Amino acid sequence: MKTCFSIDALSPSGANAWRLLENDSWRECVYAEALKAGDKQITDKKSAEQWSGRRLKRDRD
């Protein structure tokens, strides 16, 4: 069995969620939804752990 990790970000209110893509951009998603084409799949546990607990900044409009 091959294990991989996906990275989801959740807004503080829980109303919005985003998924990290292969090109390091983000797409809106339903939190914990099934993987879609283009979603980043990290196979190295140490690399996945580096994302844990990070805070994201809002893009400038």
Q: Which residue is it, tokens 């939804």? A: 33
| For the chain, domain boundaries | 8-49
Residue-level pLDDT at 12: 86
Q: What is the pLDDT of residues 1-57, one digit of tens each?
A: 889 999 999 988 889 999 999 999 999 999 989 999 999 999 999 999 988 887 777
Residue-level pLDDT at 54: 79
Q: What is the pLDDT of residues 35-45, one digit of tens each?
A: 999 999 999 99
Rounded Cα–Cα distance for residues 56 and 11 (Å): 9
